[in-house]
Amino acid sequence: MARARSVPAPLEPDDIAALDRFVDHLWLERGASPNTRASYRSDLALLARWLQSRQVRLEAASEADLRAWLAAVGAGTGSRTQARRLSALRQFYRQQLAEGQRSDDPTARIEAPRLGRRLPRTLEEDEVARLLDAPDVDDPLGLRDRAMLELMYACGLRVSELVGLPMPRVNLARGLLQVQGKGGKERLVPMGEWAADWLARYLRQSRPLLMRGAPHDAVFLSQRGDAMSRQNFWQRLGLHARQAGIRSALSPHTLRHAFATHLLNHGADLRSVQRLLGHADLSTTQIYTHVAQARLARLHAAHHPRA
């Protein structure tokens, strides 16, 4: 007999109201993405149910309560998940403090877990060249894929920015994209001649066929005539990576990493790369300097006579 699934206990109305106010705050005041809002709400709902079983309201939790909960849910989870949970707690209780709902911050003395620096997987320049050459550009889908790959590599786009790109934000005459990134922040990104040429060719030859006579706002369309999804692009990327002889696992983000790393390898300054990537904080971009330095160290070891 299949084991019955346990149904989470319903949240108290006061806790639901507090979470609703917090999520609205994340959206209106901080411009948090839907994914961030959903994950923070999920973490806090989990905490609220745990506190509820101990007859403690979410808004009244003590430092000891929060430490006990983090310890209870932390077993077997990675440091990044633990850090995200603590971030949700910090922001929630700081909002409570700012609104006068509390007179203290119970997270003030809770230390975040140490996060090891995770270097992104990137591609060498010859690997990128093979990947870009892999699609069959005589096929409408292949030409679309070539334009998408060229644009992602030339502009350092996130996959959500690529598949969500609307036609009014493309300026072929000036070679610019108006990209809407995380938190609704916009930036202008130059395409470069190669990417602009492939995009123009796609728009002229393939997109009218994929539209199937129905107008669509999205730049990149699927075989069904609707907007490309992230999952669809991921699958196509994997197909072309295998065709290019790239055996290591790739994600759409790999081309964004390659964009940043190759710019730094060729002398770009970190601030410029930060603006092109749309990073709010320079520290986020600095991880790419480690990738570039690691590659230079390998080149030195392989080719310097006294390495």
Residues marked active site are found at 158, 182, 253, 256, 279, 288
61-92 in b/e burial notation, b at 16+ Cβ within 10 A? beeebbeebbeebeeeeeeeebebbbbbbbbb
Q: Using an 8 Å Cβ cutoff, are 23 and 41 in contact?
A: yes
Length of the chain: 307
CA 275/CA 287 separation, integer angstroms: 15
CA 146/CA 148 separation, integer angstroms: 5
Task: Kindly report each contact of residues 297-305 with a partner whose C-beta sits within 8 Å and lies 24 or more positions away, as own/partner.
Answer: none
Judged by DSSP in three states, 161 sits in helix
Angle between helices 287-303 and 252-265 in degrees, nearest 10? 60
Q: Look-up: residue for tokens 């092109």?
A: 276
CA 195/CA 191 separation, integer angstroms: 6
Q: Which residues pair with 207 in a beta bridge?
A: none
CA 291/CA 261 separation, integer angstroms: 7
